Copies of this chain bind each other. A is one copy, B any other.
Amino acid sequence: MWVAVDIQARGMRVWVHDQDAVIPLEADLGVSSNEPLVAVLGRLLLPYVKGAEPLLVLCSGASDPASFAPVPVAPPNGGTAVQVQECDPRMDLRAISGVGQARPSDFLSGEETAVAGFIAAHPKWDGVLCITGNHSKWVHISAGEIVSFQTFMTTEMFELLAQRSSLAGDVGESGWDSDAFALAVSDAMSRPEKMTATLFSLHADAVLKDPSPAVARARLFGMLVGMELAAARPYWLGQNVAVIGTGDTADHYVAALKGQGVIAPQLDRDKMGLEGLRAAFMSLQTNDA
């Protein structure tokens, strides 16, 4: 028996592997609290720590920055995982290393395991992964290695602006307008520097004309994604691109890329993370043997 743990910005995914069975545990609540990881895992995995051997727990997204592997590098595998000392002695908790980059200064912390899962499923693939989320990560992969990457705070900025800024009253909590989104992406790509000015025009439109919260929502996200696509152009232009992510945010990235003529297949982030953790487990078995 072993446990795969994938810590993401919005929650933790946990899968207990018992022989051929994979039991997903609901663990999202644990991470949003300030409870330390080892305490959350100790509590969550209590029913499974009964054996004579310590329970192996392989965890991505929890590595110490000091152990980040520098690019270019194959996604760190189980053999590079660092044992976390301060945990329940009935668990053998190992943190898979993240990936660091000096210029531009950046890091992957957990996403490298989703990349490993993708590479395990597509060993010959060269191109770029766009891993969506609170922060999106564009990751250039070649010959099974992470060559370079770039993180964008687009979705976090969107939520800050939509929920906590002067625009909060103008931008709907739901609703969408695909045309407004496409236009905003295209405008932001051609005049990215106008973004902070265009932001206020959303508010002015709501004050001076008829407010349209769904249109404002799509325009705001479109402006920010357009800026991201402008800056990430070296990543996606003329490249194989796959989007790792599901749900509305990922769908909007796929639509924005399609608007630039890039047809990107879309993969499930959790599934890629699980595959990466399984590959790490396999490599660990090989190392230990």
Residues of A within 8 A of B (CB): 65, 68, 100-102, 104-107, 135, 150-154, 156-157, 160-161, 164-166, 189, 191-201, 204-205, 207-209, 224, 227-228, 230-232
Contact = CB atoms under 8 A, between A and B. Distances in A.
A143 to B, nearest CB: 25
Contacts of A228: 196-197
Contacts of A165: 153, 156-157, 160
B204 A106 contact: yes
B204 A107 contact: yes
Contacts of A65: 207-208
A197 B231 contact: yes
B153 A164 contact: no
21 contacts: A65-B207, A102-B208, A105-B205, A105-B209, A106-B204, A107-B207, A135-B166, A150-B197, A151-B200, A152-B200, A153-B199, A157-B161, A157-B165, A157-B199, A164-B164, A189-B193, A192-B192, A192-B193, A193-B227, A195-B195, A196-B227
A153 B166 contact: yes
B208 A104 contact: no
A196 B152 contact: yes
A200 B136 CA distance: 10
Please indicate which of the listed interface residues A104, A153, A196, A207 has the most CB atoms of chain B within 10 Å of its own CB.
Answer: A196
Contacts of A200: 106, 135, 151-153
A54 to B, nearest CB: 30
A195 B207 CA distance: 28
A184 to B, nearest CB: 13
Contacts of A189: 193
Contacts of A151: 197, 200, 204
Contacts of A105: 201, 204-205, 208-209
Contacts of A230: 193
Contacts of A192: 192-193, 195
Please indicate which of the listed interface residues A105, A154, A166, A194 has the most CB atoms of chain B within 10 Å of its own CB.
Answer: A105
Nearest to A229: B193
Given A195-B195, A195-B227, A208-B100, A166 B156 contact: yes
A253 to B, nearest CB: 14
